[in-house]
Amino acid sequence: MSDLGDGHGATGEEPPAPGDGRQATGEKAATGITRRRALQVLGAVPVAAALGQVPAQQPKPLTPAVTSQVPSGPAATVAAPAAPKFFNTHERRTLHVLVDYIIPRDEHSGSATDAKVPEYIEFLLAEKDANPTTQVAMQGGLAWIDAEALKRFSKTFVNASDVQRREILDDIAYPAKAKPEMSHGVSFFNRLRDMTASGFFSSAMGWQDLQYKGNVFNPGYDGCPPAALEKLGVSYDVMQTRISPQER
């Protein structure tokens, strides 16, 4: 008997048994494959499994919608995307020092660095749509303040003492009193001060410092205070003098 055909007619199929009640080609017409060929394929599966071509035993799925592969160990933690970087290490240190002079820690709240203001500023500057003028101004300003510290004290701003730092900041923090030669530092510090305030007061720490309540329902509203009504020259009694449309 041949493996792929045994000469039993054109279909290669055994004739039906007497009383079978089926056509000789019925099985092939219904399935598109002869019974002999199906048995050959099925018989080859154990051999393939023994050769490592298919798993000898397929694992049952945990659920229809869940993978059948059970993890052999703890699932790997997906790392959070890295924060965008704009400043180098030295610039970032200088920025941290400067913003804490603008909003220091006090009895009401933490400092600008506690509110992650430097990260806020760096995120804005690292965006692909960031304003190039602002980017240049910020990095140039940090370089300017270092150059000023080196000129005065032969050390960078972060390595200067508190007294030395304040000496430089006092010369650029008050535009009306600043000398003309301090104009670049004044422009930089104005921009940095605005960005620091924006970052701080848009943070949760800043909201709490302002005691901002938001759109909170007030169940005890008693209307406009009498003092305000008197100042405006109006009264709730005016409503009683009006004639309703039905009475006109």
pLDDT tens track, the chain, 248 positions: 444 444 444 444 444 444 444 444 444 444 455 555 555 555 554 444 444 444 545 555 444 444 444 444 455 555 555 666 888 999 999 999 999 999 999 888 899 999 999 999 999 998 888 889 989 999 999 999 999 999 999 999 999 999 999 999 999 999 999 999 999 999 999 999 999 999 999 888 888 888 777 777 777 777 888 898 888 888 877 655 555 556 55
Q: What is the pLDDT of residue 59?
A: 52
Query: Of 69, 44, 66, 39, whose CA–CA distance to 54 is shortest?
Result: 44
Q: What is the pLDDT of residue 63?
A: 46
Model-level pTM? Answer: 0.55
